[in-house]
Amino acid sequence: MTTFVPKEVQAGLDRARLARMKKASRLRISVDDKTYKVLRMWKTGFSIDAETAPQLRGLVDLYDGAIHLFQCLIIANERDEDEMLFEFKRLTAVSEQPAIDFVRDPDAPIALLGRAS
């Protein structure tokens, strides 16, 4: 039994695989008011469609739908068939609260109550 697949069939399979990854992923990156769909993400990086991907480098924002997940410092790593692979140099989780630069006293009041008139 051979595992040879004609080039046309292989190209069709690759297009179908890429379309399935685009449809299934909710992740996207935002750079300079432009967004790109993330096809795959792993611990040290992510990939986007090589046809629409510019040579990105620097600071990007990573979203899951409308939820801002991470601010990332990235570099383009390599092209792998239809995907452009990027590597994280820094991955910082986004918080809904501002960072505090002091130690909070565990017994400190949460809020101040006004006087009843």
Q: Cα(36)–Cα(83) distance, rounded to whole angstroms?
A: 12
- Give domain status of residue 102, yes or no: no
CA distance 76 to 86: 4
**Does any domain span residue 106?**
no
pTM of whole model > 0.95?
no
16 lies in a domain? no
| CATH number where 33 lies | 2.40.10.430
pLDDT in tens, 30-75: 888 888 888 888 899 998 888 877 778 889 999 988 888 999 999 8
Residue 116 counted as domain residue: no
- Nearest to residue 47, comparing CAs of 21, 73, 10? 21
8-21 per-position pLDDT tens digit = 777 776 776 666 66
Asked if residue 52 belongs to a domain, the reply is yes
Domain that holds residue 54: 25-93
Give the type of residue at 101.
D
